[in-house]
Structure 1
Amino acid sequence: MAAGGSRPEPFVVSSVEKVHRVMSWLKEIFGSQSLPPFEKNSETFDLLYTLAEYSEERERDASVLIEDMKERAAKYDAEAEYLQSILTETFDLSPSVLSEEGSAHLKTLVDTAMILDTKDTSLASLFSAISDRSLELLAAETKNKELELNLLEVRNKLTATLALENQLRMDLKKAEKDLEVEEAKAHFRLQNLQFLKHKSEDISIRIKSAEEKLIAIGLQESLMHEPLMKLSQKLAEVQEETVQVKKKLECYFNLPTSLPLARVKIEEAKRELNALEEKVSMRIEEMTDDFLELERL
């Protein structure tokens, strides 16, 4: 055994004792009535044994409570008889001789003592009970204030949430309207694009038809729009080449005239420039003649 002593082993009830106790408890409950059928196994008897213990424990608690209530009732009766004897012997008063107002005050005093759950109706007991109730009231008011603050916070959050929801709903409506407007604009642009496409196809067909008619009456194909555009591009290229040649010749214009080599280079450049100018002039004359012939037609 240890120095501090060993703990007592828990009381173990055998299966036979459990069955005997359960059957006795059931007979006490049902009395002369026959027991209802139930499955008789160890699990069922363990459960019924536990219920029997709880039932007996509750009966013991109820008995103790009843005895306590009886003792308190006897104490109150004795105190009431004592107070009544004092009133009767000292002041020659009894509940039967009290006025209606006095009886009402006495009843109020008794009801107050019962509500406050005091041991008697003395001022000390009443003041002590009132003080306890005041503390409980203060604690309840403090708790109520905390709950009100929490409720106010929740209400503010709810208000903010509702405002945000309303704003989101308005933004959604605005976005839907903007989307409808953009869809209408896109539809209008698509219609315009289709119209321009059809118009372009129609104009292309008309141009093609006009060109075919002009060719049929003897107009040269070189005077059509596309060849003229190509000639214009070539003319622009020739003019650009002329400008480049002129830029190259500018450096030769400043050479000393006494140098034979410089003279030769200048003469070559001049001849090249004259050839290009003649070529451009001839091309311009050809285009001018073509335009004049087109106007006569």
Structure 2
Amino acid sequence: MLDVSNVAFTFMVNSWLSSVFGDQTVPQFEVNIRTVDILYQLAQCSEARCSDTALFIEDIKQKTSEYQADGAHLQDVLLQGVGLSCASLSKPATDYLSALVDNAMVLGVRDTSLGSFMPAVNNLTNELLEGEKSSRKLDRELRALRRRLGATLVLRGNLQEDINKTVKSQAVESAKAEERLLNMDFVTAKAKELSIRRERAEAQLVSRNMDKSITHQAVVQLSEEVNTLKQEIIPLKKKLEPYMDLSPSPSLAQVKIEEAKRELVALDSQLEINVDFK
């Protein structure tokens, strides 16, 4: 880390910022250890890259001057040795020469000799073969991806169909559940209403001093008791069946006849009284 109080570092950072922004105003920033350290590192990197760029430019300028010298020398050789110049060449020759130069520039060779062209062509051929190989590989991968995509689309269609069926089924079940809830609410309300009516009826019966022996529960219990007694009488009747065919006792029969006569007389008397009263 750098010390903010170091005037040399601060001056270097300010100088670098001024050179970067030129005529523009340097933006305000918080001056602390971290910002000065970052700006100092950026300034060093920038100066290093500017130095490399300057060296590269100098190298290009030197190669350009060398190429220009070689070109001038070759022109002198052609002109003095063969008597050829660019102006004396025919149109086809000029076109061929331009094409040769363009090819040399495209291939990136130093000169137009066959020894320079052949390696460059071989490299391009190898790159072309590698490109074709990569293209075939990409085609295979593309076909595989298309097959997978087709299978995925089919699966997606099936899943979408299943989802639609599920949604419809859920809608139907939801409607049924809602109907059940409405029925349940109706039944609950009805049961509550009937319970209130029953309580009111029981209160009315209590207020009227109704005999509990004639209530539905009492009648049901009495009916059950009667059925029980009937079941108990059945074996007794079976025991009395042998005695049913015996002749009644004469004395008892006479007594019964006398009782019947007295009842008949009493009924006649009561009938006459009622007739007279009316």
Q: TM-score, normalising length from structure 2?
A: 0.53
Aligned residues: 168
1:89 is paired with a residue whose SS is helix
Partner letter of residue 87 of structure 2? S
Partner letter of residue 130 of structure 2? A
Q: Residue 27 of structure 1: CA displacement?
A: 3.3
Q: Residue 165 of structure 1: CA displacement?
A: 4.0
Q: Residue 71 of structure 1: CA displacement?
A: 1.6
Does 1:77 pair with 2:59? no
Equivalent residue for 1:42, pick from 33, 43, 46: 33
Distance in 1 separating the partners of 2:34 and 2:96: 61
Residue 146 of structure 1 corresponds to: 137
Equivalent residue for 1:122, pick from 90, 113, 137: 113
Deviations 1:134-157 (A, max 9, x none): 111111111111111111100111
5+ unaligned residues in a row in structure 2: which ranges? 170-278
**Alignment RMSD, CA only?**
3.0
Distance in 2 separating the partners of 1:163 and 1:33: 62
Partner letter of residue 48 of structure 1? L
Does 1:20 pair with 2:4? no
Residue 162 of structure 1 corresponds to: 153
Distance 1:168 1:43, change over 3 A: closer
Distance in 2 separating the partners of 1:31 and 1:172: 65
Greater shift in the superposed pair: 119-128 or 75-84: 75-84
Partner letter of residue 75 of structure 1? E
Equivalent residue for 1:135, pick from 98, 114, 126: 126
Q: TM-score, normalising length from structure 1?
A: 0.50
Distance 1:153 1:47, change over 3 A: same
Residue 108 of structure 1 corresponds to: 99
Distance 1:174 1:23, change over 3 A: closer
Distance in 1 separating the partners of 2:21 and 2:27: 9
Equivalent residue for 2:84, pick from 81, 93, 103: 93
1:38 is paired with a residue whose SS is coil
Distance 1:14 1:130, change over 3 A: farther
Q: Residue 50 of structure 1: CA displacement?
A: 1.4
Partner letter of residue 14 of structure 2? M
Distance in 2 separating the partners of 1:50 and 1:174: 65
Partner letter of residue 81 of structure 2? T
Q: Residue 28 of structure 1: CA displacement?
A: 3.1
Distance in 1 separating the partners of 2:149 and 2:25: 63
Distance 1:89 1:162, change over 3 A: same
Q: Residue 76 of structure 1: CA displacement?
A: 1.5
Residue 51 of structure 2 corresponds to: 60
Distance in 2 separating the partners of 1:103 and 1:42: 65
Partner letter of residue 115 of structure 1? V
Relative contact order, CA 8 A, sep 6+: which one is greater?
1
Distance in 2 separating the partners of 1:79 and 1:28: 39
Partner letter of residue 51 of structure 1? L
5+ unaligned residues in a row in structure 1: which ranges? 1-11, 180-297
Deviations 1:46-72 (A, max 9, x none): 111111112111211210111121122
Residue 51 of structure 1 corresponds to: 42
